[in-house]
Amino acid sequence: MELLEKTKTLPTGSGVYIFKDADGEVIYVGKAKNLRNRVRSYFGDAADPQPKVLAIRRAAADLDYILTATEVEAFLLESQLIKKHRPRYNVRLKDDKEYPYIKLDLADEFPRLEIVRKMQRDKARYFGPYPNAGVVNDTLKLANKLFPLRTCADWRGKKRPCLNYHIRRCRAPCQGRVTPEEYRQLLNQVILFLEGKHQELEDSLRREMERAAENLEFEKAAQLRDQLDALAKLTTRQRIVTNQRWNLDVLAVGVGPDLAAAQLLIVRGGKVLGNEYHSFEHQEFAEKEEALSAFIRDYYAGTSLLPREILVSVLPADSDALMEWLSAKRQGPVLLRVPRRGEKRMLMEMAEKNLAAHMEADLRAQRADKEEGKVILQQLADALGLPKLPVRMECYDVSHFQGEQTVASMVVFEHGRPARSKYRRYKIRGLTGPDDFASMAQVIRRRFEAAREGRAGFNHIPGLVVVDGGKGQLAAALAQLRELGFDDVNVISLAKREEEIFVPGRSQPVVLDRDNPALKLLQQIRDEAHRFAVAYHRRLRTKSTLASELEKIPGVGPARRTALLRAFGSLHQLRTKDVAEIASVPGIPWPVAEEIYKWFRKEK
C-alpha cells in the first residue's frame, strides 16, 4: 500500500499529520509527539480498530505532515487547520465559529461596552465568549444599568447631554462632566463585574460610598448605594454551590450514538455564574477523551478569562499539552483535574446531571424535527411521484467567475434538515471557460464513482438528487448516473427564475404553490448548495489573488507563499499585519517580513 510505505519515511519529531482523500480534500488533522509512530498506528493490526480509524483508513489517499518544535505548537497548528478545513472525521464544537464577546476599548479615553463577534489584537479588553446572543445582551443591559458608562457611538461634539445623563445612566463625557480619571475608576468596576469578581466589586463600591459620605457627597453616596443594592439582588439570584470562594470551571462531556455534547459550569467566588450547553459536530466518531480535548481547544481558544482550575469528567491523553497552552494564555498555571470526592466531585455531578437533562431534551427535539420533516418529505414525494420518502437528499451547484476557479458543491439534507458534516466541495478539473453542463456532469460522476468504489462517506445513495439549473443541468446529471449504473436514483432540477421543477420523463415542469412546504424545502437545499459553492469559490479566488501578489515580492518563494497563505488567507488580512506578526509565521525571517510589510505600503 503506497500510503503505508509513506508512513515509514515520516520523521519521529512532534508535529501535525493531515490525511486527504482521492480528491485532495482534508479529511482528518491530528497531532503527535512522534509523527511516525502515531500515523503508523492507523495501519496497525489491532484486532478491533475504532470505527473512526477504519473510516480514515478506507478514505485516505494521501498524507501530509508539518513538523513543529514542541507538542504545544503542534496543538495550536492542529487547531488552526481544523478550523480552516473542517475535516469530516475531526470532532469539533458545533457553531463555534463566532461566539459573541463584550468589548471594552481601553485605547479610547471614554470607552463604551460593545458586542463583537471576533477578538482583535488590540488594546481592548474582551469578555466572553457568551453561549448565545440573549445572554450577552442581558449582560450588557445589566452592566449599563449598574454603571453609568456612555452608550452612544457619536458622543463627540454634542450640544447638550442626552436623556441617559438626566436619568443617571451616563456621566456625560460629551459635556466634560466627568474626568478621564473618574471614568477610569468606573471602568475598573465594570471590569470586576464582567470578570465575575462580584465580592471584590462590592467591597470597592462600599469603600467608595463610605468615602463619599465622609466627604458629604450625599448624592454620589446614594448612587453608589443603589449600585450596591442592584448588585446584591443579582448575586442573591446566583446559586451558591460552595462556601469556598473557588474560581473554577466544571466540564462534563457525554457521547452517545446520536449526540455528543458538553456542559460547562462557570463557578466564580463559589457561585455559578454560567451554565452552558454545547454540542459537537461529527458525533458519530466521537469518544469522550477526544470530545473533551476538542471542547477545550475550540472554546478556550476564544475566551479572555481563564480560571486556575478546570474540573473535567475524564483526563484527555494530551492533557499536558493542553495545560501548557492554557497556562500560557492565562499567564499563570491552569490545572486539569478529575475530581474524586468532596465538594468538587459534587460540582462535577451537578454538571453531569445538567448535561444528561440537556441531552435528553436535545434528542427529543431531534425526534420532533424528524417527525415534522417526515410530513414535508411525504408532500415532496407525492408532488414528484417518488416511490418512497427521500430521507437523504443531495443538491449540487456550480460556481465560477467567467470560467475561472470553477468549483462545485454537494450539500446533504437528512430527514429534511442540513447534515453539514456530510457536505463536500469539488474543484472542477480540465475545463476551460464557463461550461455549467460539463461542470455538473463532472461533479456527479466523481461523487457516484466514489460510491461505486465504496469510498467512506459516499456509500449512502440519496433518495433524491437535486441539481441547480434547468433542463441542461438535469440532462448532464442523468447521463452520468446512467453511465455509472445508478439508473434508479431519483434526480430533478430546480430553476431559479420561476422555481420550476424539471422531472425526467415529464414534458412540462412541476410548479408548486409558493407557500408549499415541499417547495420551500427544495429552495432551502438549493440556496444552501449555492451558498456553499460561492463561499468556496471566493476563498479560492482570494488565495489566488494573494499568491499572485506574493510572487512579485523578492525573497518570497513557493514555500514562503504557502506559509503566508496558511497564516493569513487574504491580501486584506496580510496588509493589516505589522512586521512582528508577519515574522511570527514559520519560515518567514525578519528581513523578508520587512520587505513584505514595505511592499504593501509603497506607492504603486
- Residues 372-421 pLDDT 10s: 888 999 999 998 989 899 999 999 999 877 656 788 999 999 998 888 87
Which of the given ranges, 155-159, 317-321, 561-565, has the highest pLDDT on average?
317-321
Regarding whether 232 and 254 lie in a shared domain, the answer is no
Question: What is the reported pLDDT for 272?
Answer: 76
> Do both 397 and 533 map to the same domain?
yes
Per the structure, the count of domains in the chain is: 5
Tell me the per-residue pLDDT of 459-503, one tens digit each, with 9 for 90 and over.
789 999 999 988 899 999 999 999 999 988 999 999 877 888 999
Greatest pairwise CA separation for the chain in angstroms: 92
Looking at the structure, tell me whether residues 46 and 154 fall in a common domain.
Answer: no
Instruction: Please report, for the domain that includes residue 288, its CATH number.
Output: 3.30.420.10
For 13, 176, 277, 336, the CA distances from 317, given in Å and listed in that order, are: 18, 57, 23, 12
Asked if residue 590 belongs to a domain, the reply is yes
Domain that holds residue 291: 248-360
| Whether 524 and 444 share a structural domain | yes
Query: How buried is 216 (Cβ within 10 angstroms: 0-12 exposed, 13-18 middle, 19+ buried)?
Result: exposed
Residues 399 and 495 in one domain: yes
Q: Do 398 and 535 have their domain in common?
A: yes
User: Looking at the domain assignment, is residue 95 inside a domain?
Assistant: no
Considering the domain architecture, whether residues 282 and 316 belong to the same structural domain is answered as: yes
Report in angstroms the alpha-carbon separations of 293 from 129, 140, 288, 323.
Answer: 18, 31, 9, 11
Q: Which residue, of 33, 57, 90, is where some domain finishes?
A: 90
Q: Is residue 96 domain-resident?
A: no
The pTM for the full model equals 0.63
Task: State the average pLDDT over residues 585-604.
Answer: 77
Burial of 429 (0-12, 13-18, 19+ CB in 10 A): exposed
Position 373 in a domain: no
Q: Which of 90, 119, 139 is the last residue of a domain?
A: 90
- Is the residue at 383 inside a domain? no
Looking at the fold, whether 201 and 324 belong to one and the same domain comes out as: no
Do 436 and 511 lie in a common domain? yes
Please report the pLDDT score of residue 155 as a whole number. Answer: 67
Least confident of 228-237, 240-249, 286-295, 474-483: 228-237
Asked if residue 176 and residue 214 are part of one domain, the reply reads yes
Classify residue 426: in a domain, yes or no: yes
What's the CATH code of the domain at 558? Answer: 1.10.150.20
Domain closes at, from 30, 62, 90: 90
Residue 414 and residue 517 share a domain: yes
Q: Is residue 152 part of a domain?
A: yes
CATH code of the domain in which 401 resides: 3.30.420.340
Of 62, 60, 55, 88, nearest to 459 by C-alpha is 55
Q: Are residues 139 and 61 in the same domain?
A: no
Residue 344 grid cell:
468538587
In a domain, 98, yes or no: no
